[in-house]
Amino acid sequence: MAFRLDDDWVWDFWLADDGATYHLYFLHAPRSLGDPHLRHRNARIGHATSPDLVTWTSHGRIFETGAPGSFDATATWTGSVVRGDDGLWRLFYTGSRFLTEDSNANVETIGLATSTDLHSWTKQPGPVVVADPTHYEVLGSSSWPEEAWRDPWVFRSGHDGLWHMLVTARAGHGTEPDRGVVGHAVSSDLATWQVRPPLSAPGSGFAHLEVFQLLEIAGRRHLVFCCDAAKLAGHRAGQTGGIWSLPVGEFPGPVDPRKARLLVSEDLYAGRVAFDRAGRPMLLAFHNAGADRPFSGGICDPLPLAVDADGYLQLDRPK
């Protein structure tokens, strides 16, 4: 196992690469809670570094939750890191605010922290992007227990020069629970964001599409996301969930998650692709609970990837 903490569960994560060092940002919560399900209400973001994606040094927590009543009062969840034209690193993360102690009702919004060195982070006033009910489901508008607006993946488009954010979201219409969509927002300066309609339509078989990543391999763009079996819906209900691969064309643009294929089953989850120093794509993911084992957390060793004959990502297994 590439990264694990003895006293904390580790699960969702994302990476930044400064050219010499890989920086891992990960969700963690104390194992002393006893019940792994409680980790979501107690999640904080940690930081570790590695020269090779295999050997990691932990540097502890990067910041705390916000004050009571703030958008990140309960927990800090998954995000992504980019570097602006001014050289400043920006970490977009999910703030979670649970409304009561005895329900799953929570509101998710996007916050921002900045750093000059990828080690010390300063949270900015937030949130910076919230769900727009014109296009997206919000808490109370359906039977879904949360206002899903999380897991921001930020990238710059060479097509229009704008910064784009992909967000785990749910459409404000469609058959429940099959409303998972690719949420979308844009910015010219990484500070002010405009929420746009989703890039996909509801009814694709996913109640939610989590932890997006857009990447390019050999000139071909791929969208990677996650959905486990419990959140598969519509025509996918009852199938196996996990990490999904979807080739995409000109992007950002309309995407069709109905065409997504399973890359890895949900024994591994929240997959992220990194490129080693030889330029090879590697999949990392956290160890999920299984039918015959409890949740233990921790991130797997890098798994080499390849592109199959149909243009989908697959594990590059020895022949």
pLDDT recorded at residue 49: 98
pLDDT recorded at residue 319: 58
Residues recorded for the chain:
319
CA distance 314 to 265: 12
CA distance 170 to 179: 5
Closest CA to 171 of 223, 206, 128, 122: 206
Instruction: Decide if 180 is inside a domain.
Output: yes
CA distance 221 to 297: 29
Instruction: Decide if 1 is inside a domain.
Output: no
CA distance 144 to 122: 33
Instruction: Decide if 70 is inside a domain.
Output: yes
Question: Which mean pLDDT values do the consecutive 10-residue runs of the chain (319 residues) have?
Answer: 92 97 98 96 98 97 97 98 97 96 92 98 95 97 95 94 97 97 98 98 98 94 97 97 96 95 97 97 94 87 95 86
What three-state secondary structure class fits 27? Answer: strand
Instruction: Decide if 310 is inside a domain.
Output: yes
CA distance 3 to 48: 9
Instruction: Decide if 146 is inside a domain.
Output: yes
Whether the CB-CB separation of 123 and 94 falls below 8 Å is answered with no
pTM above 0.95, yes or no: yes
- Which pair of structure tokens corresponds to residue 32? 């002393």
The 3-state DSSP composition of the chain as helix, strand, coil percent (nearest 5) reads: 5, 45, 45
CA distance 9 to 29: 5
pLDDT recorded at residue 293: 78
pLDDT recorded at residue 317: 77
Exposure string of 234-268, with b = 16+ CB inside 10 Å and e = fewer, is bebeeeebbbbbbbbeebbeebebeebebbbebeb
Beta bridge partners of 25: 14, 47
| Domain carrying residue 112 | 8-315
Q: How many domains does the chain have?
A: 1
The residue type of 25 is: Y
- Our measurement of the distance from residue 14's CA atom to the centroid of its chain's CA atoms, rounded to an integer in Å, reads 7
pLDDT recorded at residue 159: 85
Q: What is the CATH number of the domain that holds 180?
A: 2.115.10.20
Instruction: Decide if 12 is inside a domain.
Output: yes
Whether the CB-CB separation of 112 and 123 falls below 8 Å is answered with yes
Instruction: Decide if 306 is inside a domain.
Output: yes
Q: State whether the Cα torsion 236-176-252-11 is positive or negative.
A: negative
Torsion, CA 16, CA 21, CA 25, CA 30, rounded to 10: 170
User: Left if phi > 0, otherwise alpha if psi is -120 to 50, otherwise beta: which for 277?
Assistant: alpha
* Contacts with 150 (C-beta within 8 Å, 6 or more apart), sequence order: 77, 78, 94, 96, 108, 110, 167, 168, 210
CB burial class (10 A; 0-12, 13-18, 19+) of residue 276?
Answer: middle
